[in-house]
Structure 1
Amino acid sequence: MTATDRNEAMVAFGSARASGTEWRQADAQRLPFPDERSDLVVCQFGVMFVPHRVAAFAEVRRVLAPGGRFMFTTWGPLATHAIAAVLQAGLERAFPVDLPRLLPTVPHGCADRAVVAGEPTAAGFAVEYAQELTLEGRAASAADIAAGFLAGTPVRAAVEEVTARLGAGQVTAPMTAYVFRACA
């Protein structure tokens, strides 16, 4: 079994926890595997982060052996995901203008089953079924949920960019501000 992720940190994380599995960094739109290599490809909550899903699905089709299967999961609508909906409501209160659209457009951006089912078809698959499933999410604490949203979404890349550019030690950098004085 081979597991992949585009993010090298996730590859390292998985490698440390799942022995017996080969972990590789890979871009879903350019899989580093030969044609017709696999009987099964599974993508758990990853397709939402791929910019060109049909191209990625075509890559999956290329690496599947004849008769192979592709299974993937996406999140349903944001309103049906109670934990993410709470975060979105907080963002809406904090940003009444220029609301960040990350949650509805990325993790929950594949919530239209008809649209998403058409994408594997466009890549040469015959979609056998699309099933809605509602389970109860659990977390040890709300703080763990907040950390998960920060570390398990594209926000993590932005935070890592700060460390990569500024280093791990003390930071000194220019910061521009404007000072105004008005007279009546």
Structure 2
Amino acid sequence: MNTSSGDRAFVGPIPQVYEQYLVPLIFEPYARDLADRVASLAPTAVLEIAAGTGVVTRQLAVKLPAAASVVSTDLNQAMLDHALTVGTKRAVTWKQADAMNLPFPDGAFDVVVCQFGVMFFPDKAKAFAEANRVLRPGGAFLFNVWDRIEESEFADCINQAMARQFPNNPSQFMVRVPHGYYDRAAIVQALLEAGFADPILFETVAMQSRGESPRSVAIAFCQGTPLRNELEGRGATILDKATDVAAAAIQKRFGDGQVSGKIQAHVVCATKKA
């Protein structure tokens, strides 16, 4: 599965909408889970890749001791800039970096962590090999990926609404990218080929996603992800119309006021050979 540059462009107003709407909706629960897993390994040096606006970074800054260094990176400088405006409880290092070409020496970190980012890497094998390279022997690569879209109810509902809205040219972003890399066998094989030790640990974790309203959910997905780029490319008024359609679909399925839906992801842990 390849991604286009538009699929990876978190620019313009996307970072702010992403942080305001999408982070509390789907990312915060898994960020706490992932940071707890990192903390349980008692690392002294952690690298985060595809950090986005820093939801995991903020958790790491709270849950790791001050002596543990945290370096958070993302390909999109606009996302890092927004992360800086939100800030962290203690000092961390922010750096623009490509996960497929990390600017760090071999064996520099105890843990490499990535939340819902590997799906966006154009060359996953290269990114996995880079994570392996910068880890110390015995170090851990921890990441999560969304399960198939049918297991995440809000995303599935909005994807179906977009398919009805554009029957002759349906949007494929949600299925192609965020929910496009969930096959356990494929993930395990790619990590083994990158040099990680067997076995690869794989855990499926279901949670509840809670939105303030159907419209807040629609804004999160339609305007706070690169789906926005695709919609805006269809016409000047399409983004607002698509958001309205998505909000109506969420309301019809989940009701008015605060809404709740299932989300599901896989958490993967790969260990560098000693």
For the aligned pair, the TM-score class normalised by the smaller chain equals: 0.7 to 0.9
2:147 aligned residue: 76
Superposition CA RMSD, Å: 1.9
* Offset at residue 156 of structure 1 (A): 5.0
Query: CA separation of 1:13/1:160 partners in 2, compared to 1, >3 Å: closer, same or farther?
Result: farther
Q: Per-residue displacement from partner, 1:7-52 (whole Å, max 9, x unpaired)?
A: 1111012122233111111111011111110000100000011111
1:8 aligned residue: 77
Give the 3-state SS of the residue equivalent to 2:179 in structure 1.
Answer: coil
What is the CA–CA distance in structure 1 between the aligned matches of 2:190 and 2:128, rounded to whole Å? Answer: 8
What is the CA–CA distance in structure 2 between the aligned matches of 1:102 and 1:110, rounded to whole Å? Answer: 12
Q: Per-residue displacement from partner, 1:133-184 (whole Å, max 9, x unpaired)?
A: 11111122233222322454223566899xxxxxxxxxxxxxxxxxxxxxxx
1:125 aligned residue: 196
Of Structure 1 and Structure 2, the greater strand share is in 2
Give the 3-state SS of the residue equivalent to 2:168 in structure 1.
Answer: coil
Query: CA separation of 1:56/1:152 partners in 2, compared to 1, >3 Å: closer, same or farther?
Result: farther
Residue 214 of structure 2 is aligned to residue 142 of structure 1: yes
Give the 3-state SS of the residue equivalent to 1:138 in structure 2.
Answer: strand
Contact 2:174/2:227, CA 8 A, preserved across alignment: no
- Equivalent residues in 2 for 1:1-184 (5 A)? 1-19=70-88, 20-126=91-197, 127-156=199-228
* Offset at residue 121 of structure 1 (A): 1.0
2:269 aligned residue: none
Give the 3-state SS of the residue equivalent to 1:121 in structure 2.
Answer: helix
Contact 1:37/1:65, CA 8 A, preserved across alignment: yes
Instruction: State the number of aligned residues.
Output: 161
Matched to 2:84, the amino acid is S
Q: Percent identity, aligned pairs only?
A: 39
Contact 1:75/1:110, CA 8 A, preserved across alignment: yes
Q: Which runs of 5+ in 1 are unaligned?
A: 162-184
Matched to 1:29, the amino acid is M
What is the CA–CA distance in structure 2 between the aligned matches of 1:156 and 1:29, rounded to whole Å? Answer: 25
Query: CA separation of 1:157/1:4 partners in 2, compared to 1, >3 Å: closer, same or farther?
Result: farther
What is the CA–CA distance in structure 1 between the aligned matches of 2:217 and 2:95, rounded to whole Å? Answer: 27
TM-score (norm 2): 0.55
Query: CA separation of 1:134/1:122 partners in 2, compared to 1, >3 Å: closer, same or farther?
Result: same
Contact 1:15/1:21, CA 8 A, preserved across alignment: no
Query: CA separation of 1:158/1:25 partners in 2, compared to 1, >3 Å: closer, same or farther?
Result: farther
Matched to 2:75, the amino acid is R
What is the CA–CA distance in structure 2 between the aligned matches of 1:108 and 1:52, rounded to whole Å? Answer: 17
Query: CA separation of 1:98/1:72 partners in 2, compared to 1, >3 Å: closer, same or farther?
Result: same
Contact 1:30/1:59, CA 8 A, preserved across alignment: yes
Q: Which runs of 5+ in 2 are unaligned?
A: 1-69, 234-274
Contact 2:74/2:96, CA 8 A, preserved across alignment: yes
What is the CA–CA distance in structure 2 between the aligned matches of 1:160 and 1:101, rounded to whole Å? Answer: 14
TM-score (norm 1): 0.80
What is the CA–CA distance in structure 2 between the aligned matches of 1:60 and 1:92, rounded to whole Å? Answer: 36
